[in-house]
Amino acid sequence: MGEEWTRITPFPLDTNPLKVEVIVVLQFPIHRIENNLVITKSEDIWSYYRVFENTVGINEQEALENLVYRLEKLAWQLSGFLEIDYKILPVPVDIEARISKLQNQYEGKYASVGSYYAERLRDILIEEAKDTVEYKFFIGIKLERKENEGDNILGTTIRSLKGLNRYVQRLSGYNGIDGELLNQYRESEESAFATLSSYLPATRAKKEELHYLLRHFFTRGMKNERENDESISSLTEGILHQSDAGFIRIQQLEDESYCAFLPVTEFPVDMNGRAWSYFFQELGFPVEVHIRTHYKEKKDDYSETNKIKRRFRDQDSQLLQANEDEDSLINAGRTLLHELENDIKNQGKPLLRTYTHFVVWGMTKSECRSRVTRLKRAFKDRGVEVLQPLADQLLLFHQSIPGADIVAPDWEQILTPESFSDSLFSLTRKVGNTVGFYLGKDITSPGETVENSPFLVFYHPFLGQLGLKGSKYSSPHVTISGPTGMGKSFLLKDILLNAIFFGAKILMTDPKNEVEKKFKATIGEEQSPFADLIESFNYITFSSDKRDAGKLDPLTFLEGEEAHDTAVAILEYLAELQSQERNIKTAIYKGVRHVLTTERKPGLLKVVKYLQSSEDKEVQNVGDLLYEVGTNGVAKLMFSNGDVSGISLKEQVNILQIQNLTLPEDGEKPATRDEHIAVALMIPLAKFATKFARDDSQTKITIFEEAWMLTNTGQGHKLIKEMLRTGRSLRSAVYIVTQSTVDYNRADVKEGIGTKFSFKAKTIEEAGNIIEFLGIEDNKENRELLKNLSEGQCVMEDIYGRTAKIQIDVPFNEWKDAFNTKEEDKGRRETEEAFI
């Protein structure tokens, strides 16, 4: 057995008898967990904190720079604690638990149908999103003990006796912690929490969170189930094997997984934009991160820079001998070193001696190996070198445990506070709600699609008004904007069907008269939960037929001043009066007031007759015009003699449809008489919806399709503002579906909207308007993003003010068919695409 075969390693490499195996025995470091404190067996105490996730909007450079600044300052300020433990834990999204909680909120007539679809969704997502995780962030700080006895001989003797006493207690099986010992660390813990909280939103970690963290180490890739007694021994149950170099196999009773620890071996000179503890979240599989930082005194940091200077001198000498030009990277490094030396000397800037390693796992070694390869390649593209060591896997496993000593010192990398801040620690991607129905995927990063993005988006339509902690808006109202054909109606119908499972009552205006036709065309003759759902809706169709005349006459379903103002607004709009025609306006006011006060059954036709009987010829002419308009075509919906029967809204879902309505071009002012009438019809339609929304006996959603038409009338805009203002108190959400956000991009309106969905912008100007509406950074990248959105893609701002580019994804085929508003292509698509 020659010396060349001797190797110190924490595991048997193989069974070759010529090799000498030296087993390194590592003692489990944790003695006890007390609240957020980890007490080690060497009586060191670490305090752990849960850092809340930070998010930045799309291309929000200013917000990103703010996070970098805070991380830099934090790294600087924590130097007083000598040793810090940063952890990023990927927590699996528990699809079953979320769907179960969602089902528990279903009630009313459609609860059973909702459960049917929830169970289908659960099965789909468990299969398609099995590796989906949410990242949680923790920071552990090694506390300093405040000595009370002084540094004299007597104090040293007393501490020695106490230490001996605790040693005897441990031998006897006593697990208690000396209260005085904890008191000696209290001041340090409070200082640590205050320092951390000054730069990052954080809270003291719960004991349950630390238990979960600890249990996770022994169940990576498997179900993390805590034992009932939650003792340290039960949390750390598991057998670790390292029979395969570079991997650890974790064995539980009925399951096993493979994991690999990958330390960083080299960071680039320029760390700007590397996002080295953030970007991997896009990879589609879980990645765990452990960053240990160790601080030394100023003289040690200064000595470190001197070492590097000597290396540069050696390199200069070698280049001179080889007669080669100096490398640009070396030159840049020399400049940075000079700046660092001055900062250490003059400002006391600390150096962070870091030990960073990433952890990936898989249910098979092959899966784990594939993920290792992908992770290494991804980091290499960013100039960061990571290695899969053959012999240090168990050492790195041990080093990742809270409170453990650094036992793999070979992987030390020295960082400055600036280079550490470029990690973007605590940054994550999240938009939407934690519990809600599945809406789609976050596809903000280039190249992401609904097929490869790991970021699920959930949405709950009835959380906005609850004033949730951390929310920016306390409003249930929603806007959905964008040009025709990009997915507005598709998204709206997805929300509509999911909302009814919560027992909400729905009133939807459908000026295009397409919902019933599209829905029923997809159900066929066979009975199904979807068919039952669609058939049960109350479709209220308004037409130009005589039987529908007067059904939207405001004098028949409104009362008092509201009836008066709405009737005046309709008549003035239809008459297209100019501001100087005050005599006609006065006549209309008097006519409406006269009919309301004298007629037992008031109606707009009676007002028209009042105008026709006027002695003023101009008023007569307007009366004649309004009579012709109100007794012909679809406009007769607004005119009656007061003898029409009311509209029943007894069903949970009510859809108001108007046939043969000639709508103006997208977002344009009406250009013809028919278009003018179509806009006028929106006034009583909106008033009818407002009356529905005022009933506060149950939760409601009022949907305005083509709501941009309302803003073509002052009355319509006033109505929307009123509903946005009062909706929360009336348990009523308003959904505004419109071509453009320009009419809602006002502080008094948009602040009343809780969630915003913005589809493609047709022009750069429209992109700028959407940017202002969403409150995101106005830059070239965001304008281009909005202009290049594809069908089904939109930018979402949730109630927390978070923004992301998302792809709407409906998992049920029958829903997709019913939501599709495109003309049947009769094979034209296949013909066109056949030769691509």
How does residue 7 score in pLDDT terms, banded at 50, 70 and 90? very low
Q: Which of 793, 661, 669, 682 is nearest to 743 (CA)?
A: 669
Got the DSSP string for 141-166?
EEPPP--SS-SSHHHHHHHHHHHHHH
Averaged pLDDT, 768-781 = 93
Q: Which of 290, 276, 291, 256 is nearest to 359 (CA)?
A: 290
Element (H, E) at 795: strand 793-797
Model confidence over 330-383: pLDDT tens digits? 556 666 665 666 666 666 678 899 999 999 999 999 999 999 999 999 999 999
Q: Quick check: 753 pLDDT over 50? A: yes
Q: Is 459 helix (H, G, I), strand (E, B) or coil?
A: strand
Q: Which of 798, 819, 78 is nearest to 498 (CA)?
A: 819
CA 214 vs CA 28, 30, 290, 811: distances in Å: 12, 10, 13, 36
Q: Is 298 helix (H, G, I), strand (E, B) or coil?
A: helix
Q: Is 332 helix (H, G, I), strand (E, B) or coil?
A: helix
Q: Residue 561: CB partners within 8 Å, gap ≥ 6?
A: none
The CA distance from 198 to 202, in Å, is 9
Q: Quick check: 157 pLDDT over 50? A: no
Model confidence over 659-705: pLDDT tens digits? 877 877 766 778 888 888 988 888 888 888 888 888 888 899 999 88
Q: What pLDDT is recorded for position 713?
A: 64
Q: What pLDDT is recorded for position 298?
A: 65
The CA distance from 73 to 209, in Å, is 27
Angle between helices 95-104 and 111-128 (to 10 degrees): 170
How does residue 647 score in pLDDT terms, banded at 50, 70 and 90? confident
User: How does the average pLDDT of the chain come out, rounded?
Assistant: 85
Q: Residue 194: CB partners within 8 Å, gap ≥ 6?
A: none
How does residue 155 score in pLDDT terms, banded at 50, 70 and 90? very low
Over its C-alpha atoms, the chain yields an Rg (Å, rounded) of: 35
CA 119 vs CA 97, 437, 438, 456: distances in Å: 12, 12, 12, 17
The CA distance from 165 to 154, in Å, is 17
Torsion angles phi and psi, residue 257, rounded to 5: -150, 165
Model confidence over 59-113: pLDDT tens digits? 999 999 999 999 999 999 999 998 999 999 999 999 999 999 999 999 999 999 9
The distance between the two most distant Cα atoms of the chain, rounded to a whole number of Å, is 125
Q: Which of 729, 724, 790 is nearest to 761 (CA)?
A: 790
> At CB < 8 A and 24+ separation, what contacts does 309-314 make?
309/337, 309/341, 312/337
Element (H, E) at 235: helix 232-235
The CA distance from 455 to 458, in Å, is 10
| In the chain, where the domains are located | 36-93+129-295+350-421, 550-643
User: CB of 722 within 8 A of CB of 753?
Assistant: no
Other Cβ atoms within 10 Å of 710 Cβ, number: 23
Q: Which of 661, 616, 615 is nearest to 638 (CA)?
A: 661
| Residues listed for the chain | 836
Q: Which residues make beta-bridge pairs with 702?
A: 507, 734
Averaged pLDDT, 502-511 = 91
Which segments within 114-221 are labelled E, that is strand? 133-142, 202-204
Q: What pLDDT is recorded for position 214?
A: 94
How does residue 9 score in pLDDT terms, banded at 50, 70 and 90? very low
Q: What pLDDT is recorded for position 510?
A: 87
Q: What pLDDT is recorded for position 750?
A: 82
Q: What pLDDT is recorded for position 326?
A: 55
The CA distance from 471 to 201, in Å, is 14
The order of strands in the sheet holding 478-481 is 456-459, 437-442, 803-808, 793-797, 755-758, 478-481, 732-738, 700-704, 505-510, 653-658, 538-542
Got the DSSP string for 654-717?
EEEEETT--PPSTTPPP-SHHHHHHHHHHHHHHHHHHHHHT-TTS-EEEEETTGGGGGGSHHHH
Element (H, E) at 372: helix 365-381
Q: Residue 584: CB partners within 8 Å, gap ≥ 6?
A: 575, 577, 616, 618, 619, 622
Tokens of 126: 């468990």
Q: What pLDDT is recorded for position 524?
A: 75
Q: What pLDDT is recorded for position 511?
A: 83
Q: Quick check: 746 pLDDT over 90? A: no
